[in-house]
Amino acid sequence: MDHFDDLIIGAGQSGPFLAQKLAAAGRRVALIERRWLGGTCVNDGCMPTKTMIASARAAWVARNAARWGVVIEGPVRVDWGVVQARKNAVVHESRGSLESWLGGTANLTLIHGAAEMIDERTVAVGERRIRAERIFLNTGARPVVPPIPGLAELPFLTSETVMDVPALPRHLAIVGGSYIGLEFAQMFRRFGSEVTVIERGPRLAPREDEDVSAEIRAILEEEGVSVRASTAVTRAAKEGDEIALDLGEAQICASHVLVAIGRAPASAGLHLDRAGVALDERGYVRVDDELRTTAPHIYALGDVNGRGAFTHTSYDDFQIVCANLLGSGGRRVSQRIPIYGLYIDPPLGRCGMTAAEARASGRRVLIGRRPMSRVGRAKERGETRGFMQILADADTHALLGATILGIEGDEAIHSIVDTMYAGAPYELLMRAVHAHPTVSELIPTVLEGLTPLT
Ligand SMILES: Cc1cc2nc3c(=O)[nH]c(=O)nc-3n(C[C@H](O)[C@H](O)[C@H](O)COP(=O)(O)OP(=O)(O)OC[C@H]3O[C@@H](n4cnc5c(N)ncnc54)[C@H](O)[C@@H]3O)c2cc1C
CB 47 near ligand 1, within 6 Å: no
Classify residue 406 by burial, with Cβ atoms within 10 Å: 0-12, 13-18, 19+. Answer: buried
- CATH code 3.50.50.60 region(s) in the chain: 2-142+264-335, 151-261
- Provide the CA 133 distance to its chain's centre, in angstroms: 32
Phi, psi of 365 (to 5 degrees): -115, 140
Q: Where are the beta strands (DSSP E) in 115-266?
A: 115-117, 122-125, 128-137, 141-143, 171-175, 194-198, 226-228, 235-239, 242-247, 250-254, 256-259, 263-265
93 Cβ neighbours under 8 A, 6+ residues apart:
none
Q: What CATH number belongs to 339-452?
A: 3.30.390.30
Question: Does residue 86 have its Cβ closer than 6 Å to ligand 1?
Answer: no
Distance 294 CA to ligand 1 centre (A): 23
* H or E stretch covering 318: helix 311-326
Please give the C-alpha separations between residue 106 and each of 26, 110, 137, in angstroms, as whole numbers.
Answer: 9, 11, 21
User: Is 151-261 a CATH 3.50.50.60 domain?
Assistant: yes
Ligand 1 centroid – CA 41 distance (Å): 5
Instruction: Tell me the C-alpha distance between 298 and 129, whole Å.
Output: 17
Tell me the best of 41, 142, 144, 182 to mutate to test the pocket of ligand 1, counting ligand atoms within 8 Å of each CB and taking the most. 41
Measured from the CB, is residue 293 less than 6 Å from ligand 1? no
> Of the candidates 86, 27, 4, 9, which has an alpha carbon nearest to the alpha carbon of residue 277?
9
**Can you give the pLDDT at residue 291?**
98
**The predicted structure's pLDDT at residue 104:** 87
Q: Does residue 40 line the site of ligand 1, with CB under 6 A? A: yes
Mean pLDDT by 10 residues, the chain (454 residues): 97 98 98 97 98 98 98 96 98 96 94 98 98 98 96 97 98 98 98 98 98 98 98 96 94 98 96 98 98 98 98 98 95 98 98 98 98 98 98 98 98 98 98 97 98 96
pLDDT for res 249: 87
Give distance in angstroms: CA of 104 to centre of ligand 1. Answer: 23
Give the per-residue pLDDT at 389.
98
CA of 409 to the centre of ligand 1 (A): 24
CB 181 near ligand 1, within 6 Å = no
Active-site residue 436, yes or no?
Answer: yes
Cα 348 from chain centroid (whole Å): 12
386 lines ligand 1 (CB under 6 A): no
CATH of domain 2-142+264-335: 3.50.50.60
The answer to whether the predicted template modeling score (pTM) of the entire model surpasses 0.95 is yes
Delimit the CATH 3.30.390.30 region(s) of the chain: 339-452
